């Protein structure tokens, strides 16, 4: 099973809303990642969790708040977003942070109005 | 200079032909190289990984790596219309702290026409 799942598939939110994106994997992977992808651009790394601890924060604004409740789950809490934050948000996982093959979930298409 | 460079395309090939996708990278310390396929509106799918110089074949796909030239390529034999997608080259970089970081190229759009 090489599946990473993400919910919701689509999300529309206003700039004053608070929402959360969820990611789940059952492959026993110990590293999980959040990426942001704008149209016709490659994915941009946001956060890396390794063994449930935040390892990398790529200078992401504080309106994005990641959380890793356990080794299978990864959340991204959203608050006071801007329209320019509209993008495809991708979750990925790999065996562990030094392993190289990352598997992506289907993504959440976020629109901020 | 971008860390990972790809021609954005579109690369247009007829059905049944060989599609050749190229990628160069700047960090000589990179050890791991990947090709992801991304259909429009979908997430990237890992299709090939290569770690040592030479060729690696998997079905219709062949990845080629030349570390001396800092060059990675992907060949798709017997191209099908279903291969039409954007192909992302990704290179592993290990920053301070040792955590895995993939650097993506901008992607090459492949169009296979019947």
Q: In this predicted model, what pLDDT tens digit does every residue of B38-56 receive, in sequence order?
A: 999 999 999 999 999 999 9
**Residue A89 C-alpha from the chain's centroid:** 6
pLDDT band with cut points at 50, 70 and 90 for residue B58: very high
Query: Can you tell me the mean pLDDT for B66-88?
Result: 97
pLDDT band with cut points at 50, 70 and 90 for residue B63: very high
Inspect the interface and report whether the beta carbons of A98 and B94 lie closer than 8 Å. yes
Indicate the residue of B34, B92, B99 with minimum beta-carbon distance to A56: B99
Inspect the interface and report whether the beta carbons of A107 and B46 lie closer than 8 Å. no
Higher pLDDT, A25 or B8: A25
Name the nearest CA neighbour of B25 among B46, B49, B54, B5. Answer: B5
Do you know the residue count of chain A? 113
Residues of chain A scoring pLDDT < 50: none
Query: Can you tell me the mean pLDDT for B74-79?
Result: 98
Query: Can you tell me the mean pLDDT for B77-100?
Result: 88
| A39 contacts A50 by C-beta, under 8 angstroms | no
């Amino acid at each position: 099973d090489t599946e990473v799942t993400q919910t919701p598939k689509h999300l529309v939110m206003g700039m004053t809303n608070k929402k959360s994106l969820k990611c789940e994997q059952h492959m026993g992977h110990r590293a999980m990642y959040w990426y942001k992808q704008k149209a016709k651009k490659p994915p941009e790394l946001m956060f890396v969790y390794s063994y449930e601890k935040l390892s990398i924060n790529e200078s992401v604004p504080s309106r994005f708040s990641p959380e890793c409740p356990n080794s299978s789950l990864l959340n991204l809490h959203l608050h006071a977003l801007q329209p320019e934050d509209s993008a495809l948000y991708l979750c990925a996982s790999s065996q562990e942070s030094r392993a190289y093959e990352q598997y992506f979930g289907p993504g959440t298409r976020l629109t901020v109005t | 200079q971008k860390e990972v460079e790809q021609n954005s395309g579109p690369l247009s090939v007829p059905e049944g032909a060989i599609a050749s996708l190229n990628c160069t990278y700047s960090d000589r310390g990179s050890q791991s190289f990947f090709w992801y396929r991304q259909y429009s509106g979908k997430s990237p799918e890992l299709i090939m990984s290569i770690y040592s110089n030479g060729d690696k074949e998997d079905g219709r796909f062949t990845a080629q790596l030349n570390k001396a030239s800092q060059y990675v390529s992907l060949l798709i034999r017997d191209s099908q219309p279903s291969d039409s997608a954007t192909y992302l080259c990704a290179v592993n970089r290990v920053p301070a702290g040792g955590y895995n970081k993939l650097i993506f190229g901008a992607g090459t759009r492949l169009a296979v026409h019947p």
